[in-house]
Amino acid sequence: MQIFMRMIKWTNGTVTTPDQTLLPLKEVTLEIKTVEQMAEAIKNLRIRGAPLLGAAAAFGIALGAYTSKAQTISELLRDLHAAGETIKQQRPTAVNLFWATDRILNIAKTYKDLSVEELRTAVLAEAQKIADEDAAQNYAIGKNGAELITDDDTILTHCNAGELATVEYGTALGVIRHAWTQGKKIKVIADETRPLLQGARLTVFELQRDGIPVTLITDNMAGYAMSKGLINKVIVGADRIVQDAVFNKIGTYSVAILAHTHNIPFYVAAPKNTFDLKHKTTDITIEERTPNEVTHIGNQQTAPNSTKVLNPAFDATPLKYVTGIITETGIYTKEHFQKFNPTFPL
Ligand code: MRU
Q: 273 CA to middle of ligand 1, Å?
A: 14
Cβ(50) – ligand 1 distance below 6 Å:
yes
In the chain, how many H helices and how many E strands?
12, 15
Q: What is the DSSP letter of 163?
A: G
Cβ(204) – ligand 1 distance below 6 Å:
no
What is the average pLDDT score of the chain? 96
Pairing of strands 154-157, 29-32: unpaired
Q: Residue 112 — very low, low, confident or very high, per pLDDT cuts 50/70/90?
A: confident
- The strand pairing partners of 15, in sequence order, are 10, 32
Averaged pLDDT for residues 211-223: 98
d(C-alpha 177, C-alpha 145), whole Å: 10
d(C-alpha 233, C-alpha 110), whole Å: 46
- The model's pLDDT over 243-264, given as tens digits with 9 standing for 90+, comes to 999 999 999 999 999 999 999 9
Closest CA to 153 of 127, 128, 124, 182: 182
DSSP 189-211: EEE--TTTTHIIIIIHHHHHHHT
Q: Residue 343 — very low, low, confident or very high, per pLDDT cuts 50/70/90?
A: confident
Averaged pLDDT for residues 148-177: 98
Closest CA to 165 of 45, 262, 84, 265: 45
Q: Is 302 helix (H, G, I), strand (E, B) or coil?
A: coil
- Residue 40 in this model has a pLDDT that exceeds 90: yes
Look up 239 and say whether it is catalytic. Answer: yes
pLDDT of residue 3: 46
- Among 17, 19, 48, residue to substitute to test ligand 1 (most atoms within 8 Å of Cβ): 48
Which atom of ligand 1 is least distant from the CA of 162?
A: 15
Choose the catalytic residue: 191, 239, 244, 315: 239
Residue 125 near residue 157 (C-beta atoms within 8 A) = no
d(C-alpha 215, C-alpha 72), whole Å: 56
Nearest alpha carbon, ligand 1 atom 8 = 249
Averaged pLDDT for residues 59-65: 98
Residue 199 near residue 190 (C-beta atoms within 8 A) = yes
Which residues, at least 6 apart from 330, have a Cβ–Cβ distance to it below 8 Å?
144
pLDDT of residue 342: 86
Cβ(240) – ligand 1 distance below 6 Å:
no
- The model's pLDDT over 317-328, given as tens digits with 9 standing for 90+, comes to 999 999 999 999
Cβ(249) – ligand 1 distance below 6 Å:
yes
Find out whether the peptide bond into 24 is cis, omega within 30 degrees of 0. Answer: yes
Q: 191 CA to middle of ligand 1, Å?
A: 13
CA distances from 38 to 6, 65, 131, 143 (A): 17, 13, 16, 32
Length of the chain: 346
Closest CA to 192 of 168, 214, 209: 214
Residue 206 near residue 163 (C-beta atoms within 8 A) = yes
Helices 73-88, 35-43: crossing angle, 10 deg rounding: 20
Burial class (CB in 10 A: 0-12, 13-18, 19+), 68: buried
Averaged pLDDT for residues 81-104: 98
Q: 256 CA to middle of ligand 1, Å?
A: 16
Averaged pLDDT for residues 96-112: 95
pLDDT of residue 1: 37
Cβ(90) – ligand 1 distance below 6 Å:
no
Q: Residue 192 — very low, low, confident or very high, per pLDDT cuts 50/70/90?
A: very high
Closest CA to 241 of 280, 193, 283: 280
Cβ(173) – ligand 1 distance below 6 Å:
no
Closest CA to 130 of 104, 109, 108: 104
- The model's pLDDT over 259-302, given as tens digits with 9 standing for 90+, comes to 999 999 999 999 999 999 999 999 999 999 999 999 999 999 99
pLDDT of residue 7: 97
Q: Residue 5 — very low, low, confident or very high, per pLDDT cuts 50/70/90?
A: confident
Closest CA to 81 of 95, 67, 112, 102: 102
Strand order in the sheet with 245-249: 240-241, 245-249, 314-318
- Among 7, 138, 160, residue to substitute to test ligand 1 (most atoms within 8 Å of Cβ): 160
Cβ(198) – ligand 1 distance below 6 Å:
yes
Q: 174 CA to middle of ligand 1, Å?
A: 14
Closest CA to 258 of 219, 202, 201: 219
pLDDT of residue 55: 98
